[in-house]
Structure 1
Amino acid sequence: MKRSIAICAVICAAGMMLAGCGANNAAKTDDGIIQAYDTEPQKPITPGDSDEKGSTRVAQMIYEGLVNYNADGSTRNAVAKSIEPNADSTSFTITIKDGWKFTDGTPVTAESFTKAWSYAANATNAMKNAWCFSSIKGYDELQKKGVSKDAQLSGLKVVDDHTFTVDMTAPNSTFPTQLGYIAFAPVPESAFKDMKKFGESPVGNGPYKLTGWDHGKSITLRPNDGYQGDRRARNKGIDFHIYTKNDAAYSDLQAGNIDVLDDIPTVALKSFQSNKAITSYNSAGAQFQGFTIPVALKHFGMDQEGRLRRAALSYAIDREQIASKIFFGTRTPATDFLAPTVSGHSEDIKGDEVLDHDAAKAKELWAQADAISKYDGKFELAYNADQGHKEWVDAVCNQLKNTLGIDAAGKPFPTTSEYFDTLDSATPTFAFYTNWIADWPSAGDFLVTLYASSSMNGVGSNTGNYSNAEFDTLLDKAAASTSEDDANAYYHSAEEILFKDLPTIPLWNVNTVGATGKDVHDVEFMFNKTPLYWKITKG
Structure 2
Amino acid sequence: MKVRKAVLAGLAATAVASLVLAGCSSSDDTDSTPSSSAATSGDAMASGGVIRTNGSEPENPLIPTATNETGGGKILDAMFAGLVYYDGTGAAHNDLAESITQVDPTSYEIKIKPDQTFTNGEPVVASSFVDAWNYGALASNAQNSSYFFEDIEGFSYEEDSELTGLTVVDDLTFDVKLNKEASDFPLRLGYSAFYPLPASAFEDMDAFGANPVGNGPYMLAGPDAWQHDVQIELVTNPDYTGERQPANDGLTIVFYATQDAAYADLLAGQVDVIDGIPDSSLQTYEADLGDRAVNQPAAIFQSFTIPQSLAHFEGEEGKLRRQALSMAINRDEITDVIFNGTRTPASDFTSPVIDGWSDSLDGAEVLAYNPDEAVKLWAEADAMSPWEGTFQIAYNADGGHDAWVDAVNNSIKNTLGIEASGNPYPTFGEFRTDVTDRTIDTAFRTGWQADYPGLFNFLGPLYATNAGSNDGDYSNADFDALLQQGNTAADAATANGFYQDAQEILLQDLPAIPLWYSNVNGGYAEGVNNVQFGWNSVPLYYEITKG
Query: TM range, normalised to the smaller chain?
Result: over 0.9
Offset, 1:276: 3.8
Offset, 1:525: 1.2
- Determine whether 1:82 maps to 2:99: yes
Task: Indicate the residue corresponding to 2:218 in structure 1.
Answer: 208
Residues 296-350 of structure 1: per-residue CA shift (max 9 Å, x gap): 111111x211110000000000000000000001100001000110112111000
Task: Indicate the residue corresponding to 1:469 in structure 2.
Answer: 477
Q: Percent identity?
A: 45
C-alpha separation in 2, matches of 1:152 and 1:216: 36
Task: Indicate the residue corresponding to 2:83 in structure 1.
Answer: 66
- Determine whether 1:314 maps to 2:326: yes
Task: Indicate the residue corresponding to 2:23 in structure 1.
Answer: none
Q: 2:40 aligns with which of 18, 21, 26?
A: 26
- Superposed counterparts of 1:527-538, under 5 Å: 527-538=535-546
- Superposed counterparts of 1:352-371, under 5 Å: 352-371=364-383
Check conservation: 1:115, 1:152, Cα contact below 8 A. no
C-alpha separation in 2, matches of 1:229 and 1:80: 10
Unaligned runs of 5+ in 2: 1-34
Task: Indicate the residue corresponding to 2:353 in structure 1.
Answer: 341
- Determine whether 1:304 maps to 2:316: yes
C-alpha separation in 1, matches of 2:392 and 2:79: 38
Q: 1:480 aligns with which of 477, 480, 488?
A: 488
Check conservation: 1:278, 1:516, Cα contact below 8 A. no
Check conservation: 1:110, 1:162, Cα contact below 8 A. yes
Task: Indicate the residue corresponding to 1:218 in structure 2.
Answer: 231
Task: Indicate the residue corresponding to 2:134 in structure 1.
Answer: 118
C-alpha separation in 1, matches of 2:289 and 2:169: 57
Residues 79-136 of structure 1: per-residue CA shift (max 9 Å, x gap): 0011111232x11110111010000001001110011111111121111111111111
C-alpha separation in 2, matches of 1:290 and 1:398: 16
3-state secondary structure, aligned to 1:55: helix
Task: Indicate the residue corresponding to 2:275 in structure 1.
Answer: 262
Q: 1:372 aligns with which of 367, 378, 384?
A: 384
C-alpha separation in 2, matches of 1:108 and 1:200: 21
Residues 154-207 of structure 1: per-residue CA shift (max 9 Å, x gap): 111111111111111111120000000111000101111121210111000000
Unaligned runs of 5+ in 1: 1-20
Check conservation: 2:36, 2:230, Cα contact below 8 A. no
Offset, 1:396: 0.4
Q: 1:99 aligns with which of 112, 115, 118?
A: 115
3-state secondary structure, aligned to 1:120: helix
- Superposed counterparts of 1:264-279, under 5 Å: 264-276=277-289, 279=292
C-alpha separation in 1, matches of 2:256 and 2:155: 37
C-alpha separation in 2, matches of 1:174 and 1:339: 17
Offset, 1:377: 2.9
Check conservation: 2:183, 2:489, Cα contact below 8 A. yes
* Equivalent residue letter for 2:139: A
Offset, 1:286: 0.6
Check conservation: 1:385, 1:416, Cα contact below 8 A. yes
* Equivalent residue letter for 1:224: N
C-alpha separation in 1, matches of 2:430 and 2:267: 28
Check conservation: 2:183, 2:486, Cα contact below 8 A. no
Offset, 1:27: 2.2
3-state secondary structure, aligned to 1:381: strand
Offset, 1:32: 1.2
Task: Indicate the residue corresponding to 2:70 in structure 1.
Answer: 53
Offset, 1:277: 7.6
- Determine whether 1:401 maps to 2:392: no
Residues 473-494 of structure 1: per-residue CA shift (max 9 Å, x gap): 0001101112111001101110
C-alpha separation in 2, matches of 1:338 and 1:122: 29
Task: Indicate the residue corresponding to 1:15 in structure 2.
Answer: none
* Equivalent residue letter for 1:323: T
RMSD of equivalent CA atoms: 1.4
C-alpha separation in 2, matches of 1:124 and 1:526: 35
Task: Indicate the residue corresponding to 2:447 in structure 1.
Answer: 435
Task: Indicate the residue corresponding to 2:60 in structure 1.
Answer: 43
Check conservation: 2:90, 2:452, Cα contact below 8 A. yes
Offset, 1:22: 6.4
Check conservation: 1:254, 1:277, Cα contact below 8 A. no
3-state secondary structure, aligned to 2:186: helix
Runs of 4+ in 1 over 2 A off after TM superposition: none
Residues 211-235 of structure 1: per-residue CA shift (max 9 Å, x gap): 2101111100000001111111100
Task: Indicate the residue corresponding to 1:152 in structure 2.
Answer: 162
Task: Indicate the residue corresponding to 1:188 in structure 2.
Answer: 198
C-alpha separation in 1, matches of 2:69 and 2:361: 29
3-state secondary structure, aligned to 2:295: strand
Residues 223-264 of structure 1: per-residue CA shift (max 9 Å, x gap): 000111111110010111111211111111111000111011
Check conservation: 2:183, 2:492, Cα contact below 8 A. no
Task: Indicate the residue corresponding to 1:248 in structure 2.
Answer: 261
C-alpha separation in 2, matches of 1:106 and 1:276: 44
* Equivalent residue letter for 1:383: Y
Check conservation: 1:427, 1:464, Cα contact below 8 A. no
* Range with greater deviation from structure 2 (390-399 or 263-272): 263-272
Task: Report the TM-score when normalising by structure 1.
Answer: 0.92
* Equivalent residue letter for 1:138: G
3-state secondary structure, aligned to 2:235: strand
Check conservation: 2:289, 2:523, Cα contact below 8 A. no
Count residues with an aligned counterpart. Answer: 508
* Equivalent residue letter for 2:388: D
- Determine whether 1:137 maps to 2:145: no
- Determine whether 1:491 maps to 2:499: yes
3-state secondary structure, aligned to 1:48: helix
- Determine whether 1:291 maps to 2:291: no
C-alpha separation in 1, matches of 2:313 and 2:36: 38
Check conservation: 1:113, 1:184, Cα contact below 8 A. yes
Task: Indicate the residue corresponding to 1:239 in structure 2.
Answer: 252
Indicate the structure whose relative CO is greater, using CA pairs within 8 Å and at least 6 residues apart. 2
- Superposed counterparts of 1:382-421, under 5 Å: 382-421=394-433
C-alpha separation in 2, matches of 1:115 and 1:485: 34
Check conservation: 1:71, 1:524, Cα contact below 8 A. yes
C-alpha separation in 1, matches of 2:318 and 2:493: 33
Task: Indicate the residue corresponding to 2:508 in structure 1.
Answer: 500
C-alpha separation in 2, matches of 1:418 and 1:298: 23
3-state secondary structure, aligned to 1:454: coil
Check conservation: 1:262, 1:531, Cα contact below 8 A. yes
